[in-house]
Structure 1
Amino acid sequence: MSIDMFTDLLNQYDWADVSRLIDTATATDVERALTRPTRTLTDFAALISPAARPYLEAMARQSQQLTQQRFGKTMQLYAPLYLSNECQNICTYCAFSLDNKIRRRTLTDAEILREADALKAMGYDHVLLVTGEANQTVGVPYIKNAIRLLRDRFAHISMEVQPLDQPAYAELIAEGLHTVLVYQETYNRDSYQLHHPKGKKASYRYRIETPDRLGQAGIYKIGLGALLGLSDWRTDSFFTALHLDYLERTYWKTRYSLSFPRLRPIDVLGASGVQSRDFGACMTDRDLVQLICAYRLFKPDVELSLSTRESPRFRDHVIQLGITSLSAGSKTNPGGYVVEPQSLEQFEISDERSPAEVADMIRRAGYEPVWKDWDPTLMTVCH
């Protein structure tokens, strides 16, 4: 199987044509999409279109019903564990960018275990390992070692690191890796090149083929998403849906999740000291609710995850509309839990409540917080 299959499919679509498809959707198109038992990509385009705004209440009702049918009234909780802020890429929106003059930090074995113990004390059994993209410092040997340190402590290990080749993924899966999150950032090639001018990440094609390599390596779960704000959020979301649809058909044994990372302010350190960089409002809260509901109506079984980038008020509201997974108490700097809490964060956190406070909120909403993802455990037992 060729790894350029999605690239071939993607080449059949034009960004401007897709934008027009979305912008010209009508109320009739939206109503048709709402009444169908299953939805096509064209239906999804209608559901994220401006024409769907008056139908948000109906979308939310259907989204809530579908989510409870598929997932029950549960909410999966996870936490990121930042291992390193070393990075060889220049990305215009990231505090870890190579051109940002911050002190670089990579956790030692002892420090990784201290951070892990802090997360376990909070109740977590699902950890997301995060690093910058620096192959010489935090390449496969470092990640493999981290997984070995943590696999007996956590039931589910995910990672969000630099894209790797297929044999490297297979090697890490054998060590206990369950899930890989790989965000394309944007599917708009021109915008992608503008925001990624230097480093291995500058290769649009290598990054977009990463989920294919993961699927061929036999990964348990793949997480997708676009960084909402780099390009038009509606068009980027259509291409994310296209990518998800392709992957589900091609690697049908793999599970999938979607995330909704909106651009957040970052601190950058230059010659004049620390400066804040704010990207402005890329989409409204109402837009994001519409997008969450549209994805649920399009793919009833996909996991939808929301991070602490979003405000407490917003997260409290949307857990009943389609979200199935939340982070809580997150720190986006290496050693942020106990080792070095004051180091520079990758981006600003909006929801600063503790995991216990978020769990209490979930219970008050009538849902059950779930700290452990049982699926990988059950699969291991069955095999």
Structure 2
Amino acid sequence: MSFVDHFARIERDKLLLALYSCTAADVERALVQPEGNLQSLLALLSPAAEPYIEEMAQRSAALTRQRFGANIGLYLPLYLSNLCANECDYCGFSMSNKLKRKVLNEQELAAEIAIIKSRGFDSILLVSGEHETKVGMDYFQRVLPLVKQQFSYLAMEVQPLEESHYRKLVEQGLDAVMVYQETYQAETYAKHHTRGKKQDFAYRLATPDRVARAGVDKIGLGVLLGLDDWRLDALMMGYHLDYLERHYWRTRFSISLPRLRPCTGGIAPKVHLTDLGLVQMICTFRLFNQQLDISLSTREAPSLRDNLLPLGITQMSAGSSTQPGGYQVPDSQLDQFEISDDRTVEQVITQMRLKGFNPVFKDWESAWIVPKMRV
């Protein structure tokens, strides 16, 4: 069993109709008991909830401060490669795009690590295009120990792997896996993924199950907002999160809410998500799940990122590069997508502190963790 089996039984057409049929009374009932309630999640994501966003924002901010204090965790992505064997029309790494391709060798990786460490980061996200021949398990097993020596918390956002592969990477220090479904609408997914292993919708959908069974500490879910109806995609992600938490209670979870951004050969959004809609999503998920980490990308403009911080955000990147080798030698021909917030780390944390938040570069140490008991 995996979420694929559960997903097949979800009547998405009925949920879509319900989303757009919600009334003010439905929203008010949802606000009474939002936590862990999928019906409440639906109502709070609906257009009927828009007049209640101010109330949702105040409650979301209070819940976040109650659970996380004024702390915002900081991490940085380290791009290992832009090689990709997939054709995805929204991504700059797509195999047909004519851009320079690069895979970091050990010397280049060490140079990137040195720069990131000099900026104070102790949490790293390894990212690569999906090319399992040249950037697969052999490569990952070679570079993970080198990275783990320098960082307390190591996450990956690469191609979906087998459960046995995740187990091996956990042994080498892997702490978290981010695997974004992009969209939960199978027809839309097929339209945007036209070549490569990423075409397999079900295999990607089952990836968090494999990650959890392998004993990874945290799993990140996400959708690319703009590929399809963002309200329905967000609701399906909520169903996915609910399923995973019920089946893998020892695993922690996070979500990311990236909006479609320009890239080489990229597409325009099918559905436009306004800033207000993004606020609605953040607040809805905080009310639905008080323990959830919510990450904010550099895809968003600086002023918007600053204003979103109090509403439920717990993790964010700063001073990011979306290209392999980009911290040492910036080269726009290697970018995955355009960054909106190009401020330095110092500029970002200055604004965070002015707003009363505490930037946290390290909140994880393996020595603090009690080993999991065998069952």
Query: How far apart, CA to CA, are the structure 2 residues paired with 1:99 and 1:382?
Result: 45
Query: How far apart, CA to CA, are the structure 2 residues paired with 1:26 and 1:375?
Result: 47
**AA in 2 matched with 1:310:** E
Pairs within 5 Å for 1:280-319 = 282-319=272-309
Shift of 1:381: 8.0
Pairs within 5 Å for 1:166-245 = 166-245=163-242
Are the equivalent residues in 1 in contact too, given 2:227–2:271 (CA < 8 A)? no
Are the equivalent residues in 1 in contact too, given 2:175–2:216 (CA < 8 A)? yes
* 2:90 corresponds to 1:99: no
Q: Which runs of 5+ in 2 are unaligned?
A: none
Shift of 1:340: 4.6
Are the equivalent residues in 2 in contact too, given 1:262–1:282 (CA < 8 A)? no
Residues 310/376 of structure 1: CA separation in 2 closer, same or farther (3 Å cut): farther
Q: How many residues matched?
A: 373
What is residue 150 of structure 1 aligned with on the other side?
A: 147
Shift of 1:99: 1.0
Are the equivalent residues in 2 in contact too, given 1:178–1:376 (CA < 8 A)? no
Partner-residue secondary structure (3-state), 2:40: helix
What is residue 271 of structure 1 aligned with on the other side?
A: none
Partner-residue secondary structure (3-state), 2:228: coil
Normalised by the length of structure 2, the TM-score is 0.96
Could you give the per-residue CA deviations for residues 197-227 of structure 1, whole angstroms, max 9, x where no partner exists? 1100000010000000011101100000111
Partner-residue secondary structure (3-state), 1:159: strand
Query: How far apart, CA to CA, are the structure 2 residues paired with 1:116 and 1:377?
Result: 23
Could you give the per-residue CA deviations for residues 213-252 of structure 1, whole angstroms, max 9, x where no partner exists? 0111011000001111111000000000000000001010
Q: Which runs of 5+ in 1 are unaligned?
A: 269-275
* 2:318 corresponds to 1:321: no
Decide which moves more: 124-133 or 9-18: 9-18
Pairs within 5 Å for 1:347-358 = 347-358=337-348
Shift of 1:279: 3.6
**AA in 1 matched with 2:58:** R
Partner-residue secondary structure (3-state), 1:207: helix
Pairs within 5 Å for 1:257-268 = 257-268=254-265
Pairs within 5 Å for 1:1-383 = 2=1, 5-36=2-33, 38-268=35-265, 277-279=267-269, 282-374=272-364, 376-379=366-369
Residues 341/123 of structure 1: CA separation in 2 closer, same or farther (3 Å cut): farther
Residues 186/336 of structure 1: CA separation in 2 closer, same or farther (3 Å cut): same
Shift of 1:34: 1.1
Partner-residue secondary structure (3-state), 2:114: helix
Decide which moves more: 26-35 or 49-58: 26-35
Query: How far apart, CA to CA, are the structure 1 residues paired with 2:198 and 2:169?
Result: 21
CA-based RMSD of the aligned residues comes to 1.5
Query: How far apart, CA to CA, are the structure 2 residues paired with 1:245 and 1:314?
Result: 29
**AA in 1 matched with 2:230:** W
**AA in 1 matched with 2:354:** R
**AA in 1 matched with 2:328:** V
**AA in 1 matched with 2:213:** Q
Runs in 1 of length 4+ with deviation above 3 angstroms?
276-281, 339-343, 380-383
**AA in 2 matched with 1:369:** P
**AA in 2 matched with 1:378:** W
